[in-house]
Amino acid sequence: MVRTPLTSEQRDRGKALGQILRAARGPRSAAAVAAEAGISLDTLRKIERGAIAAPAFFTVAALARVLDLDLTALARELEPFDESRLAG
């Protein structure tokens, strides 16, 4: 199966998601958050740096649960995406 390449907006939204998750993690270790969410540390690191720009829904849901983030609020923060937020 060939995947359709992501648009620049989708890649930027993935970077913004990573920044939000990293900020929500705060002082907690990435390893602890990943373990509690049931994902690999490598996956969490890739999401946080935007290397996985479109993570699976259940991965994001698990991270949101562990980080006490509301999925609806998270979706609202990322749609429609505004590139100017990356500069901040």
- Is residue 3, in this structure, part of any structural domain at all? no
Helix (H) or strand (E) holding 65: helix 57-66
Residue appearing with tokens 């991270």: 63
Q: For residue 56, give its domain range.
A: 8-80
Confidence bin at 2 (pLDDT 50/70/90): confident
CATH code, 54 = 1.10.260.40
- Is residue 51, in this structure, part of any structural domain at all? yes
- Model confidence at 65: pLDDT above 80: yes
Domain count, the chain: 1
- The radius of gyration computed from the CA coordinates of the chain, to the nearest angstrom, equals 13
Which pTM was predicted?
0.84
What span, in angstroms and rounded, lies between the C-alpha atoms of 57 and 78?
14
- Is residue 67, in this structure, part of any structural domain at all? yes
Q: What is the mean pLDDT of the chain?
A: 90
- Is residue 85, in this structure, part of any structural domain at all? no
